[in-house]
Structure 1
Amino acid sequence: MQFKHTLVHGTLIKRYKRFLADITLDSGEVVTAHCTNSGSMKSCLEEGAEVFLSPVDDPKRKTRFTWEMIKIDGRWVGINTANPNQLVHEAILNKSIPGLDRYDRAIREVKFDESRLDVFAENSVEQCAIEVKNVSMRENDRALFPDAKTTRGLKHLHTLIRLKKEGMRAVMVYVIQRTDVSSFAPAKEIDPDYAAGLKEAVDKGVEVFPLQVNVTPDEISILKLLPYTV
């Protein structure tokens, strides 16, 4: 996935009110950027760190930039939670995710009763419901999700369990936007209910794809699937 516009470099002053971040651009100008990440951003929030922003053309938006990534310990960590959905949708159409490379059609944001899942893919013999989550939290050598309690995420798991029971393929894709980890696991201490829900989902046939990607100021590219423990 390539960024539509050339990103703008700066330094993080602070993040506040969850969805706002003050940034000093290289020019010295201080701007307020939109932060799409509603979680705690634990392990990827460091005042004074380098960041990249994408400029926004929409005149109706109050903020002129969207915060895309931050440099932690010398590596870029993607924090824009909107990017994984686009990346997975493109990758399914391009058949570039092993195990999800057999679909001829994929559409985004499909409603299934009480939930709206991120991608619906199909071919002549199979339909597949896919929910995508952004992962930016790191603990030691593991990527963890979630970084804050998520009742909405648990509802998505229950929807996937039901769809699997009804005969559809059901998949959770966790897009890990950092390269300094080698495995994935649910964050049991932060949200034990979600961790239990994920275990139940796996036990009932929902598939888990922990997809590690490489984030750069030019693009986000797929690296590999990581091992996971539920």
Structure 2
Amino acid sequence: MPATLSAVDLHTSTFDMPVSWPSGVTKLDITCGSAPVTFPPRLTHFSSDSGYIGQAAFPDTILYMELNDMDTFSCGHDDFGNEEFPFHFPPVLPMQLRELRIKQMGLGEIINIPALPPKLELLHIDCRVTPTWLVSPTHLPKDLRVCILEMPDLGFILEELPSKLKELSFRADCGFDQPLPALPQTLRKLRLGRSFTHPLTLPAGIEEVVLPLALAHRVKFPRGVKVEWV
């Protein structure tokens, strides 16, 4: 690889040996195939659409991670002759990670999500099956600003919300039905699904709210807030 290379986009790859990465590679995008045995040491952006990550440890330099098509496949080939790989979620997420996006396309096995890094600012999970949290994040990372959880249910008891949170969103058909902890004054967008049934006190600065149409409790809306019912 050229010594000056800074970004790598792999459309088909199967790594079974360590790669000698140029020192300047900071971005790696894998569209199809397996992840490398070793990662670039200065990697800051990693994305994969392959559904297979492998067993290699992520460097703590990664700040932005996007994992799409997260599912469990059987080894072999699909109906079109394309090679498929068993999915392995990384056992430990990079400690410096700021943004994590996970998308599970199919109805495969349950994804096991490791402990969330302490400096995480954005979390977006889109799963057809409620994931298993290896470490229950009852207290979300304190720096979290955006939390979008598009899945059938939360899978843990939410005890406290980060003081810097700006968005908390569940999809309309999410089964989340827990009393919400005190909403931080920084919150600007709140989206709750149809299953939510508890009383709600909105912060003064809220700008957008999505609530279940069948909510039995009266909600006091701050002036100018945009309200949508599902």
TM-score bin, normalised by smaller chain: under 0.3
TM-score using structure 2 length: 0.28
Structure with greater helix share of residues: 1
Q: Could you say which structure has the greater relative contact order, defined with CA pairs below 8 angstroms and 6 or more residues apart?
A: 1
Structure with greater strand share of residues: 1
